[in-house]
Amino acid sequence: MESTAAQETRGAEAPRPSAPPPSPAEPPAAPRARPRLVFRTQLAHGSPTGKIEGFTNVRELYAKIAEAFGIAPTEILFCTLNSHKVDMQKLLGGQIGLEDFIFAHVRGETKEVEVTKTEDALGLTITDNGAGYAFIKRIKEGSIINRIQAVCVGDSIEAINDHSIVGCRHYEVAKMLRELPKSQPFTLRLVQPKRAFDMIAQRSRGSKCPMEPKVTSGRETLRLRSGGSASVEEVPSKFEEEASRRVDDLLESYMGIRDPELASTMVDTSKKTLSVQEFAHRLDSVLGEFAFPDEFVVEVWAAIGEAREACG
């Protein structure tokens, strides 16, 4: 029989604390919000400043610019970055710095010139705007085309012998020009970009003349792709810039075109390969429509390797 003291001692024992309730599961971390990318833009011949956003490729970019200024997207020949001049060094390619100012060059006067091909090469380097227009990026000094004053850098090639080439890629246009027979004249229909002096009357009514904006060099760019979505990436490394430059030079010498986006894609493809044979196979799967000759692929592989060595 328990004593009274034992009963009192037991009664004085503190109750055992109950187990704490389980903590509610923590909600999953919210995905990082994609920054809102807004770019400033003007028409190169003179306009107020507009703002555009929400594009993922060049065609959508042109559509946004056209919407901002109330024009048709097909009016835009090409764009330059941070300069309203027809400066092919500032040409918009596959990348836009997040603080770049975009100038859109629109259709101006149409002109026709007759050319007689007295040599194999005309002296033209062709590029395109990614949206259906091929245009002249460079004219070789002393060449056939250089002697025709009416043909200028920045002119869009609309037709060859009245055959429309709108919608053709730059390499297709360059091939057509290479295959034209010698000693026979042919006609080029060209469209030049609208110049600032074309808009004197409009500017006198209050529209603004383009000014060179002050921009800072950011560390990120918006990478535009002809197939797939745009992405924000770090600026290209020293190796990537040098390798892309060398590949673009080879594109010009072999095919008569310049295309920084294509050159960059080829450099990116090389990073995933260990041999020139594997590189050629991957190029066929990614860029098969170009049908690059074997000797060209070998030279590209060598140029990329030389760029890697030069940049350490």
Q: Domain boundaries in the chain?
A: 38-193, 236-311
Return the closest-CA partner of residue 150 out of 191, 92, 89: 191
Output 148 or 24, whichever has higher pLDDT: 148
**Other Cβ atoms closer than 10 A to 193:** 25
pLDDT band at 67 (very low <50, low <70, confident <90, very high): very high
Show Cβ contacts of residue 208 under 8 Å, excluding neighbours closer than 6 positions: 42, 46, 47, 48, 49
Using a 10 angstrom Cβ sphere, with 0-12 exposed, 13-18 middle and 19 or more buried, the burial of residue 4 is: exposed
DSSP state of 91: B
In the numeric block, the tokens 């596959």 are attached to: 94
Model pLDDT, residue 203? 34
- DSSP, res 275: S
- The two tokens of residue 306 are 């030389």
Q: How far apart (Å, rounded) are the C-alpha atoms in residues 92 and 75? A: 16
Q: Could you tell me which residues come within 8 angstroms of residue 114 by beta carbon, excluding any fewer than 6 positions away?
A: 185, 186, 187
User: Confidence band (pLDDT; 50, 70, 90) for 123?
Assistant: very high
Greatest Cα pair distance, the chain, in angstroms, is 130
- Between strands 231-234 and 220-223, the pairing is antiparallel
Fill in the amino acid letter for 44. A
Q: Would you state the pLDDT for residue 307?
A: 95
Residues 201-223, mean pLDDT to the nearest whole number:
48
| Region 196-208 average pLDDT | 43
- Which pLDDT belongs to residue 312? 76
The span from the CA of 59 to the CA of 271, in Å, is 28
Q: Which of 312, 289, 145 is nearest to 239 (CA)?
A: 312
Residues 90-103: what's their mean pLDDT?
89
- For residue 187, pLDDT over 90 is answered with yes
Span 38-193 CATH architecture: Roll (2.30)
Position 293 pLDDT exceeds 60: yes
Report which residue type is found at 25: A
Q: Average pLDDT in the 8-20 region?
A: 49
- Please report which confidence band the pLDDT of residue 104 belongs to, taking 50, 70 and 90 as the band edges: very high
In one-letter notation, the amino acid at residue 137 is K
- Looking at the chain, the whole-number percentage of residues with pLDDT higher than 70 is 79
Phi, psi of 152 (to 5 degrees): -130, 155
Instruction: Please state, in angstroms and rounded to a whole number, the distance separating the CA atoms of residues 280 and 69.
Output: 44
* The amino acid at 168: C
Phi and psi at 186, nearest 5°, equal -140, 165
What is the pLDDT at residue 139?
A: 95
pLDDT confidence bin for 235, thresholds 50/70/90: confident
Inform me whether the pLDDT recorded for 213 exceeds 50. Answer: no
Contact (Cβ atoms closer than 8 angstroms) between residue 212 and residue 83: yes
Lowest mean pLDDT among 1-5, 56-60, 78-82: 1-5
The segment with the largest mean pLDDT, out of 74-88, 195-209, 231-245, is 74-88
- In the three-class reduction of DSSP (H, G, I as helix; E, B as strand; rest coil), residue 226 is classed as coil
Q: What is the pLDDT of residues 72-96, one digit of tens each?
A: 999 999 999 999 999 999 999 878 8
pLDDT at 168 (0 to 100): 94
Res 205 pLDDT > 60: no
Per-residue model confidence (pLDDT) at position 228:
59
Strand pairing category for 38-43 and 101-116: parallel
Confidence of residue 220 (pLDDT cuts 50, 70, 90): confident
How large is the average pLDDT for residues 45-52?
95
